[in-house]
Chain A
Amino acid sequence: MLGGGLAMFAAFVLTMECGLAARGYVPSLAESYGLWQAQRLRADRLGRRALILVGNSRMQNDIDLATLRRDTGLEPVQLAVGGASFLPVLEGLADDPGITGTVLVNFEASALALPAQEDLAYDYQTQYSRHGNTTDFFRAENWLSDELHYRLRSYADGTRPITALMRRVLGRQGSLQFESRAPDRQVRVDFARNPNPRHFAIIQASHELGLPFKYGLGDSDGYLRASMQRAIDASQPPETSLFQAAARHAAAMAAAIDARGGRVMFVVLPRSGQVQAVDDKRYPRRGFWDPFAASVPVAVHFADVPALQAFVCPDDSHLDERDQGRFTSALVTALNLGKTTAP
C-alpha cells in the first residue's frame, strides 16, 4: 500500500518536472528572509574578503556575482532587496563591527529624499538585528527548504507546485519563466522570454514616480507612454531638506565602515527611457547626486562612464542577463576594484 502510494507520488513529480523542463523552466528560489540572512551572516564571516552589495533590484539584476568574484578576487555577498531602500541594510552594516570588507551601494536618491518606509529591507534588517545569528530550527529549515526547492522546477519563481501545474503544465498559454534566483541571491532576467518588456517599463516608470499607474488591458503602448510622459512632465522634485539630512546620515554610516578598515562605494546603476526621464525630472543630479557624491570618498554615476552608459535596459530599469557579465567587468574597472587594488 505504502510502496504503491510512494511510487505514484514519485511518478507524478517526475512527470511534472519533465514537463516543466521541456518548456524551458529552470529551478529558482523565491525571495525570502532566510536567503538574505544566510548572506548577511556570510558578510560577517568573510571579514575583509567580503564584497557586499546593497541596494534594490538593479543591484540584483545588473551584477554577475561570478564575474565580480573573478575580476576582484573578493567574495561577493548579495544583500540587495528588490523594491527596497538601501538605508536599513547600510545602517545594519555600519552598526556591526564585524563588517570590515568592501560595500558597494546602489544609490537611489528617492531612498534619501522621501520619508523612510518600512519596506522589505527594513523587515529583514529588523529581524536580523533581533535574532540574526542564532542557530535554530528556522535557519535549518530555511536551508533545507531552499536546497530542495532549488532542485525542483515545480517551485520555480517561488510558486507552489499547484500553480506551476495549473498555469504552466496544464495551462494552454503557459507563462514563460524569464527570471530566476539562485541560493546566493543572484538574479537573472532573460528579457527575450518576457512577453512585453515595454509594459514592464511603464510599470517601472510609474513606480519610480511613486504613483499608482492605472491602465486598461486594451491600452496601446503608445497611449501608455504618452500618459506616462504627461505624468512625468507634471512632476516636481521633492523638497531637499529631508534628502540633505538623510545624505549626511548615509555618508556618516559609510565613514563608520571606512574607519574600521572597510570601504564603501556608491554607484548609480543604468536606467533608460522613461525611467531615466523620471529620475532626471524628480531628482536632478545638481540637487541630489552631485552634492552627495562630493561628500563620500568613492561615487560613480553610470552616465559619467561611457563603458557603463553603453548598456541599455530593456524594461528601462534593469539589464538583460546577457549583459550582466560585461557590465560587471566594466563596473569593476570604473570603481578601480580590480584584483590588483583589492585589499
Chain B
Amino acid sequence: MLFNSLTFLIFFVIVFTLHRLMPGWSAKKLLLLVASYIFYAAWNPPYVAILLFSTSLDWWLARLIWKSEDPRRRRLLLILSLVANLSLLGFFKYGNFLLDNTRLLLAAVGVHYVPPALDIVLPIGISFYTFASLSYTIDVYRREVATDAGYLDYALFVSFFPHLIAGPIVRARQLLPQIKVPRSASRDQLGWGLTLVIIGLFTKTVLADSVFAPVVDAAYASPGMGALESWAAVLGFSGQIYCDFAGYSLCAIGLALCFGFEFPDNFHYPYAARGFSDFWRRWHITLSTWLRDYLYVPLGGNRRGETRTYVNLMLTMLIGGLWHGAAWTFVLWGGLHGAYLAVERHKRGSLRDTPLPKPKDWMLTGFTFLVVTLTWIPFRAHDAHTAAAVFGGLWRPDLIAGQSTDSLYLCYAGMALLLAWQFMNRDISLEERFRRFSPTLQAALVGGCLVTMFLCSGGDERAFIYFQF
C-alpha cells in the first residue's frame, strides 16, 4: 500500500478514526498492530509470515540474552539472531546476486556452473525491519535496553506501518518506551503531522515524480544524450531520490505523529552539507547512525589507529552501499563515498565544525553537492555501461538530442529552487521554518501543495524508490 494511493487514504482514515474511538491503550495498540499487518499484507500476504518469524525470533532471543549471565551463551544467542536475520535478508535480497557472481567466478577458472533459477520476490521493507529488529537484540546484548516489553508491544515496534516499509529505521530504545505509555496526538501534533504528510506527498508526487523523474528516466533509458539533457538527468536524479525518500520519511514521521508517536528525523537538507561527513549526518540519518553504532563502532571505529579507521570507514560504506541493492553499482557507490570520507578525514577531519569564510563555505557546499550528484550515477544506472554512457554524455559538444526543452528547464528550475531552499534552511528544522511563517502563508503553502498534487495526479503511479532497498 503506497502512501500516495487512495487505498492508503481510506485505510488511514479508518485506522485513525477507530484509534480515536477505542477506549483503552491496549485496544489501541492491538488495533495499530492489526492495521500494520494488513498494511503489509496488502502487498504480498504470504510474506507476512517472514515478518512474524523475524519478530518472534528476535523477541524470544532477546529475552534469553537478557536473562543469561553467561557471556559465551549471550554471545552465541546474539550470533544466532544475527545469522537468522541476515540469512533471511541474504537469501531474499542477495540470493541471485551471489549465485550470479559464483557462476562468473567459476567461469573465470574454467568451471562451467549453471546456478538454479531462483524466482525470488524480495519481501518489501525487509532491509528496514531487519535493521530495526536487529537493533533490539544488539542493544539488549549490550544491556542498553531492557526486555520489559511484552510481545505485542515488540511486534508493534517492528511492524508499525508508518516506518515498516521504508523507514526511518526506528530503534527499539526510541519507540518501545513510547508504545509502553498511553498517548494520543495533541491538536498541535495532529495538525503538524498532517501538514508533514501533505508536504511529504507534495515532494514525492510533484517534485520527484512529475518534475525530475521524466527527464531522468528518458536519459537513463537512452544514455549518451546531449550535454544539457545529461546534466539535467544527473542533477534531476539528485533531486528525484532526495524528494522521493525525504518525502516518504516526512509522510512516515507525520503519520506516526497523528497517533502521538515521535520518529527521529531522517533528512536534514543534505545538499547543503559542508563536506562528506556532514552529508552523511544529513542524508538518511537513521541508516547512517545505525551503520555507525552497529557496524563502524564494533569494528573499532577510530580507536585502533589511523589505518584501521580508514579500513573501517571503507568497510562500513561498502556494506552501506550493498544494503541498498544486490549489484556492484551500489557497492561502487558505497566505495566512492567511503573514499571521500577517508580523503576528507585525512585532509581536515570533519569540515562541519570548521568555521569558514562565506565564499569558501559556499564553494565547499557546491563542491560537495557536485561530487555527491555525480556519485549518484552508478547508483541510478542499471549497469556500468549505462553509468559510463551517462557520464560521457555530460561532456558531449551537442546540447540537446531529443528531449522536450520545457521538461529540461522545469527540471533545472526545480533543482535550483530545491538547492536554494536547502541552503537557506540548513541550520534550522522544517518545523522551525514553518512556524516562522504567518498563518495565512502557512495555509497558502498547504493549499498550494494540495492543488499542485491534484494537478499532477492521474498519471502513472510510481512506487517510492526506497521500497526496493
Contacts and interface: CB of A to CB of B under 8 A. Distances in A.
Co-assembled chains A and B: yes
For the residues of A in contact with B, the DSSP-based class is helix
Contact of B440 (A4, A6, A144): A4
B433 to A, nearest CB: 14
Given A5-B446, A9-B454, A160-B459, A141 B6 contact: yes
B194 A2 contact: yes
Interface string B439-460: 1101111111111001111110
B32 interface: no
Interface string B32-75: 00000000001100000000000000000000000000000000
Given A137-B7, A141-B7, A155-B458, A4 B439 contact: yes
B1 interface: yes
Nearest to B440: A4
A2 B446 contact: yes
Interface in A155-178: 155, 158-162, 165
Interface in A1-29: 1-9, 12-13
A117 interface: no
A146 to B, nearest CB: 10
Contacts of B6: 141, 144-145, 148
Contacts of B450: 5-6, 8-9
Given A5-B450, A165-B455, A137 B445 contact: no
Residue of A1, A140, A155 most packed against chain B (CB within 10 A): A1
Nearest to A11: B447
B1 A7 contact: no
B439 A8 contact: no
Interface string A134-151: 001100110011001100
B5 interface: yes
Nearest to B444: A8
B458 A13 contact: no
Contacts of A4: 439-440, 442-444, 446-447
A161 B43 contact: no
Contact of A6 (B7, B43, B447, B458): B447
Contacts of B440: 4
Contacts of A137: 1, 5, 7, 42-43
Contacts of A148: 6
B457 to A, nearest CB: 7
Nearest to B449: A5
Contacts of A6: 446-447, 450
Interface in B139-170: none
B451 A9 contact: yes
A145 B460 CA distance: 12
Residue of B1, B6, B449 most packed against chain A (CB within 10 A): B6
B109 interface: no
A293 B377 CA distance: 58
A246 B255 CA distance: 56
B439 A1 contact: yes
Interface string B176-220: 000000000000000100110010000000000000000000000
Interface in A192-250: none
B443 A149 contact: no
B442 A1 contact: yes
B443 A136 contact: no
B10 interface: yes
A3 B117 CA distance: 55
Contacts of A159: 458
Contacts of B455: 160-162, 165
Contacts of B459: 160
B198 to A, nearest CB: 7
Contacts of A149: 458
Residue of A3, A141, A144, A159 most packed against chain B (CB within 10 A): A141
A4 B449 CA distance: 12
A201 B344 CA distance: 67
Contact of B458 (A3, A9, A140, A161): A161
A144 B10 contact: yes
Contacts of A7: 447
Top 7 A-B pairs ranked by shortest CB distance?
Answer: A5-B446, A4-B443, A8-B447, A9-B450, A162-B455, A5-B447, A144-B6
21 contacts: A1-B195, A1-B439, A1-B446, A2-B195, A4-B440, A4-B447, A5-B442, A5-B445, A5-B446, A5-B447, A5-B449, A7-B447, A8-B451, A13-B454, A137-B7, A137-B43, A140-B7, A141-B6, A141-B461, A155-B458, A161-B455
Interface of A: 1-9, 12-13, 136-137, 140-141, 144-145, 148-149, 154-155, 158-162, 165
Interface of B: 1, 5-7, 10, 42-43, 191, 194-195, 198, 439-440, 442-451, 454-459, 461
